[in-house]
Amino acid sequence: MKVIEKIIELGDGRSITIETGKLAKQADGSVVVKMGKTMLLATVVSAKDAKPDVDFMPLSVDYKEKFSALGRFPGGFMKREGRPSDYEILVSRLVDRALRPLFPEDYHADTFVSINLISADADTMPDALAGLAASAALAVSDIPFLEPISEVRVARVDGEYKINPTRTELEAADLDMIVAATMENIMMVEGEMDEVSEAEMLEAIKIAHEAIKVQCQAQIELTEEVGKTEKREYCHENNDEELRQLIIDKTYDKVLEVARRKNANKHQRAEDFAAVKEEFVAEYSEGKEEEEINMTLIGRYYHDVEKEAVRNMVLEDRLRLDGRQTDEIRPIWSEIDYLPGAHGSAVFTRGETQSLTSVTLGTKLDEKIVDDVLYQGKEKFVLHYNFPPFSTGDARPTRGISRREVGHGNLAFRALKGMIPADSPYAIRVVSDILESNGSSSMATVCAGTLALMDAGIQIKKPVTGIAMGLISTAGAEKYAVLSDILGDEDHLGDMDFKVTGTRDGITATQMDIKVDGLPYEVLAQALEQARQGRLHILDKIGETIEEPREDLKPHAPRIVSIDIPKDMIGAVIGPGGKIIQEIQEVTGAVIVIEEVDGKGVVDISADNKESIDAALARIKGIVAVPEVGEIYKGKVKSIVTFGAFVEVLPGKDGLLHISEIEHRRLQTVDEVLKEGQEIEVKLIDIDAKSGKLKLSRKVLLPKPERKKKEENK
């Protein structure tokens, strides 16, 4: 067994080790990446041949966390890892998006990348190591791969940029991004920020890239040491250059003519492009047998013609498919309060992209419970994104939530979460249903989410909007066009998909995928500035619908009042076996949730009407109130004894009203004046220092009887 290691120093005393040759040796490539106690096992296997008629890269990336990595049992009855968590899906997507562009264009073999967290440290973030592990597994294999990549997390903590910070350090960060890159080029960026500037974001990307270069060099050296500089030979495409040229000659001008029609209707434009292809196929097929016609090659070559024609039109004519200028935003309209039964709702439409978004408010009982390997807790704010097939006119069934929906929803969630007030007592669920899609439905979700939150009366700090940018460029970006508010076609045919969200004061989240080599930072800077202008334009547009959050919630929304109580009074409010709190909820109709936070009890009282809240609030205040000598209380007679009566002056607190303190006159029996259940006013006249027993008086609140005047001149 020959084990080879490479050590990457991070420059602050920490290091990353890449090890190969010990585990999973039957895979095409296998490495273990270690940082402290955290260990990732990454393997890659690729089929020797491609399946027939496959003209794309069938890549599958799966990131999986083992509960045993942190010495934990999985939850549930099975006590076994189940379906991927949202976090695992998001990490898988981060790696996939970085790797996919770097396989050769003509490589179409099924390829599976598996990354497993096999040992963990709760303070080390494994998502920052997953890309390095996957790329290193490819580096030690014979699978064709253009060049190694790596991913790092860059965060700004207390004004300083830090590479791969700990989870604890990340809590204080105002910028948190994962950046993927090769030695020369940025490939992918995703993260969230606290309203940072475009210049600050670019600076963070550059710092991350410098760290990535070191990790890429280590992989190059590792490839040489394991002897995998020569990759496997393959032939996944059988091309017909004569047919390719014929399609170019016969269809290019016609495709360009369709592209220049400035047709804003996606489906009509698609039909017009398809008609050009059908016309060619009909002409080409004349006099040929069916087996002589290779529709797979025709489809591939025609797609290339379509892509080239549209790109050239944009670069040469500065003209887009729907006739817009490069920095022009499609028409926008929006509406709030569209769903009368929801606590907040909005419709946001930009061109042919539309989101119907709702907001639901709940209590702490509605908070999302998270039980991942490295994180356990609750989330007060959640955002869910749904992309049904009808939104693009596709006739197919819906089969669960896709990875894409998880990823797009997460981007919108990160864009908005920083604007939710920290002191909001509500659990908030935002749901975006995409009803139409032709270009960045995730950014439509951000805009619709802002509108719906303001419609619900959530006092968000600032409105947030988002925009998707595109890029079409020549090699080395000698000639390029940055496109604002891209269409679906422009995303597919372009070189960059760059989504930016933010307020008027800065960026809150971003997601960027770059598909070309050698993109200068100057082009990124222009894209960011153009995105800022577009974002401000959209903010003006949604401001025409609603400028600021409603002052109050909808009448049917739950109301929540929060009060703090002493920690040692939590048990008194709950009661033995929950008896007291259940009784309060049953009598008042309110929902009460108590938890200990920072050494005190936080009580949330919720109901859909003020009367229920006030009644529950009075009961709880009564329980936690401390009796004070001299105070007057309206109490209830709980029981009568020979020497007096016990009166409940506060919930769960009884005092003795001695028979001598009931009235000024001498009573033979207590029931001459009082009955059980009777409400009376009493004054607390003393608290026994040793026993804490309460002594009450009624007679001090009654007027003294006048003394009989002595008979004069008796």
> Beta strands 480-484 and 465-473: pairing type?
antiparallel
Say what the pLDDT of residue 711 is. 46
Highest mean pLDDT among 442-451, 495-504, 596-605: 442-451
Residue 713, pLDDT above cutoff 60: no
Residue length of the chain? 714
Q: What is the mean pLDDT of residues 357-369?
A: 93
- Rounded CA-CA distance 440/468 in Å is 6
**Average pLDDT, rounded, for the chain:** 91
Say what the pLDDT of residue 514 is. 87
Say what the pLDDT of residue 708 is. 53
Say what the pLDDT of residue 627 is. 81
Contact partners, residue 359, CB within 8 Å, separation at least 6: 342, 343, 344, 345, 428, 429, 430, 452, 453, 455, 456, 458
Q: Tens digits of per-residue pLDDT, 559-589? A: 999 888 988 889 889 989 999 999 999 999 9
Say what the pLDDT of residue 238 is. 86
Which two tokens mark 60?
A: 């599958």
The answer to whether the beta carbons of residues 131 and 49 sit under 8 Å apart is no
Say what the pLDDT of residue 707 is. 64
Residue 475, pLDDT above cutoff 80: no
For helices 403-417 and 86-99, the axis angle rounded to 10 degrees is: 100
Which two tokens mark 300?
A: 């591939």
How far the first Cα of the chain sits from its last, in Å, is 129
Element (H, E) at 646: strand 644-650
The answer to whether the beta carbons of residues 421 and 325 sit under 8 Å apart is no
- Rounded CA-CA distance 455/348 in Å is 13
Whole-prediction pTM: 0.86
- Rounded CA-CA distance 336/358 in Å is 10
Contact partners, residue 586, CB within 8 Å, separation at least 6: none
Regarding predicted confidence, which is higher, 343 or 624? 343
Q: pLDDT category, 710, cuts 50, 70, 90?
A: very low
Residue 690, pLDDT above cutoff 90: no
The answer to whether the beta carbons of residues 138 and 96 sit under 8 Å apart is no
- Rounded CA-CA distance 243/249 in Å is 10
In the chain, pLDDT over 90 holds for what percent of residues? 67
Residue 616, pLDDT above cutoff 80: yes
Upper half-sphere CA count for residue 440 (Cβ side, 13 Å):
34
Q: What are phi and psi of 49, to 5 degrees?
A: -130, 155
Q: Range with the lowest mean pLDDT among 414-423, 494-503, 511-520, 694-703?
A: 511-520
Helices (H), 192-334: 198-226, 241-259, 266-285, 295-317
Q: Tens digits of per-residue pLDDT, 367-408? A: 999 888 888 889 999 999 999 999 988 899 988 899 999 999
- Rounded CA-CA distance 192/531 in Å is 16
Regarding predicted confidence, which is higher, 90 or 239? 90
Number of other CB atoms surrounding residue 128 within 10 Å: 24
491 is in an annotated binding site: yes
What sign does the CA torsion over 313, 319, 320, 326 have?
positive
The answer to whether the beta carbons of residues 554 and 344 sit under 8 Å apart is yes
Residue 604, pLDDT above cutoff 50: yes
- Rounded CA-CA distance 166/181 in Å is 21
Q: What is the mean pLDDT of residues 314-336?
A: 91
Which two tokens mark 622?
A: 């009564």
- Rounded CA-CA distance 673/637 in Å is 11
- Rounded CA-CA distance 176/199 in Å is 15
497 is in an annotated binding site: yes
Residue 477, pLDDT above cutoff 90: no
Q: Tens digits of per-residue pLDDT, 22-50? A: 999 999 999 999 999 999 999 999 999 99
Domains delineated in the chain: 4-226 (3.30.230.70), 241-317 (1.10.10.400), 332-544 (3.30.230.70), 559-624 (3.30.1370.10), 631-701 (2.40.50.140)
Q: What is the mean pLDDT of residues 478-490?
A: 88
- Rounded CA-CA distance 644/632 in Å is 18
